[in-house]
Structure 1
Amino acid sequence: MSRSDAVYFTEFGGPEVLRVGPWPEGPLGEHDVRIGVSTFALNRADLMYLAGEHYTIPAFPSRIGSEACGVVTETGAAVTGCAPGDRVTTIPFFTQNGVQGATAVVPDDYVTAVPDGLDDNEATAIWMQYLTPYFAFKEVCDLGEGDTVVITAASSSAGLGALQLCRELGVAAVATTRSPAKAEILRQSGASEVVVGDENLAKAISRASNGKGLQAAFDPLGGDSLQRYADHLAPGATVFGYGTLTDRQPVVPAAAMCRARAVFHPYSMFNHVDDPGQRARGIALVSEAIRSGCLRPRVDRVFGFEHVVDAYRYMQSGNQAGKIVVTVP
């Protein structure tokens, strides 16, 4: 059995427990695709997985990662959608076989051709960035013209993807950030209003929504974040809680939610991406928007494979505005 270098871990912890070394390349299943990886992307979910805080619990030793770009080197007997030599990018899915390494094995349902005009760094940054807000905004809520959403911690890759998607859908977006330096990036990405730090969020929501309030919130913070906007939810609003960047579980203000007949929705794109219909609709919308130039993945910083641990530490810092990508020689 041949081996190639991969990123893996054998115990829970932070970036310090990551290892890079030989990993066995087993035989392919009939619907599997083997990819020679050129780039892979990091996500906050990877840190949760590494720490044992994700709802998917690894079995050790475990590889890590769900987004990669590269060239198909081998396909299973039943694969018809791609062939060796094709340049492809992976749609995120959770498996013990993570894609961060020199090669990756991915089910053929989760492989797509790289859209024209994107380099490898951009191509590896597409699907988590856009499908995460897509499933929330279209499959769950079906937001559109005249709706308003608040996007907290909006300089994350999913936050920037949500802002671009709002612009594509005609949805007004109120973006929050702790950093004044990131405000212009958020406006360029599609924010109707940008709220920095402790600025008045209520006024920004009122301006963006013409006084109607929020149809949705897209919130990875957890803790007391909902308290800032719960009184400004429109009737029937949905609050998508998709992370705990504060290291605290969300505190849901029951009275304010009841007044608005609002719903708190514990959210993960992984609860939607395995539905073939939802996945196909998301791929179609995002692919067309990329082709038309309406969506363009934002890459914040690129690291070499030998610096993958540094890349994870940089993600921990929260200083990025967009996707962190690692190149594989």
Structure 2
Amino acid sequence: MKGIVLERFGGPEVLEVKDWPEPACPPDGYVIGLKAIGVNFADTVERRGLYRRNQALPYPLGKEASGVVMERGPLAHEFQPGDAVIVVKFDNGCYAQRVSARPDQVLRPPQGLSFHEMAAFGTSYGTAWFAMHELARVRPGESALIQAAAGGVGTAAVSLAASFGCAPVVGTAGGPQKCAFVESLGADACIDYSTRDFKEIVRDLTGGRGIDYCLESVGGQVYEDSLAVLAPLGRLVIIGFSSIRDNYAERIARLHPLTLFQRSISVAGLNADNIQFQANRAVWERLVAHAEEHRIRPRVGAVYPLERAGAAHTAIESRQTMGKVILEP
């Protein structure tokens, strides 16, 4: 079986396709023949050996994919061979032609999606939905600010906020082309952060009140400015720090609890690896039902063969992409 397992950490050049043993089917799980693989920014951090403490080699990559059930264990009952499914594996292994998965890692996709769209749905929409509904408890009519809105999670968050009835939905992105793309997803406005300061524009768009809900994945000054534009009772959910490449503990600004108290705001963090949202079937089914009701289709950006995974990582790291980047095994 062809796949990518890191034998050393480093730049995109370490992503080498090699022959690896076929996956064994768990007694209560499945073997999935993969059709499309979702690429996440976290994959690029893992590739450099900076995602987890004590990352050990050899190290598999790939947290999500779509495909067809090829084999199921004798104790597995939810899916049949031939079923199209989404795979979400936070223990990785999806940069491959086939993958084994526990029952909680194999998910029903929304109806009508292509395999590329299914691979773009799992972690991006799961993260955006969990942040918006399980943590921030967003209500229709509340305002939403989505940072890095042209990326995989950003596009999901804009689509979900708009379809849920948030208003206004504001995104940020780098450049006019990306901003037009974000507005095509349902955003009421998109601010080009490469030329404009989003703080004053957000205040104008909300009549000076500020933002009720912000999804933040950039870190640094963007994080601090996102805090600054929160309305009273506003909620900020942090899902990453893409602008910070190393020394996280030293480079992330501290937040004093008195700030939360004095401004009546809330800040939460969401690490999808920790919460394993895909194992919560009730949350997942609510997301799938919402996507089907509102006919949400993930936006797929560039598609690369698995052999060009390095080029896919380079595109993501250089901020060249819009929508979800996909690998074909």
**Normalising by structure 2, what TM-score?**
0.90
Percent identity between matched residues is 25
**Normalising by structure 1, what TM-score?**
0.90
Q: Quick one: which amino acid aligns to residue 187 of structure 1?
A: E
Q: Quick one: which amino acid aligns to residue 301 of structure 2?
A: D
Q: Deviations over 1:284-322 (max 9, x none)?
A: 232223323442100001112222221222222211110
User: How many residue pairs are counted as aligned between the two chains?
Assistant: 321
1:250 paired to 2:247: no
Q: Deviations over 1:102-152 (max 9, x none)?
A: 111111112123433211111111111211111111001110122122211
Q: In 2 relative to 1, CA 169–99 (structure 1 residues): closer, same or farther, beyond 3 Å?
A: same
- Could you tell me how far 1:269 is from its partner in structure 2? 2.1
Partner of 1:282: 283
1:39-54 equivalence runs, <5 A: 39-54=36-51
Partner of 2:103: 108
Q: In 2 relative to 1, CA 151–252 (structure 1 residues): closer, same or farther, beyond 3 Å?
A: farther
Q: Deviations over 1:156-190 (max 9, x none)?
A: 11001000010122113221112111111111112
1:11 paired to 2:47: no
Partner of 2:192: 196
Of stretches 119-128 and 219-228 in structure 1, the one that deviates more from structure 2 is 219-228
1:79-94 equivalence runs, <5 A: 79-90=76-87, 92-94=88-90
Partner of 2:19: 22
Partner of 2:317: 316
Unaligned runs of 5+ residues in structure 1 are: none
- Secondary structure of 2:302's counterpart equals strand
Q: Deviations over 1:218-275 (max 9, x none)?
A: 1111112133233321223332222222126432464754532333323222233357
Q: Quick one: which amino acid aligns to residue 250 of structure 1?
A: I
Give the counterpart of 2:118 among 123, 127, 130: 123
Partner of 1:259: 262
Partner of 2:183: 187
Partner of 2:143: 148
- Secondary structure of 1:281's counterpart equals helix
- Secondary structure of 1:218's counterpart equals strand
Give the counterpart of 2:129 among 116, 125, 134: 134
Of stretches 51-60 and 101-110 in structure 1, the one that deviates more from structure 2 is 51-60
Distance in 2 (alpha carbons) for counterparts of 1:240 and 1:318: 22
Q: Quick one: which amino acid aligns to residue 70 of structure 2?
A: T
Unaligned runs of 5+ residues in structure 2 are: 246-250
1:325 paired to 2:326: yes
Distance in 1 (alpha carbons) for counterparts of 2:196 and 2:308: 37
2:67–2:84 Cα contact (<8 Å) kept: yes
Q: Quick one: which amino acid aligns to residue 273 of structure 2?
A: F
Distance in 2 (alpha carbons) for counterparts of 1:26 and 1:230: 45
1:174–1:204 Cα contact (<8 Å) kept: no
Of structures 1 and 2, the one with the larger relative CO (CA 8 A, separation 6+) is: 2
Task: State the superposition RMSD in angstroms.
Answer: 2.1
Distance in 2 (alpha carbons) for counterparts of 1:231 and 1:84: 51
- Secondary structure of 1:224's counterpart equals helix
1:61 paired to 2:63: no
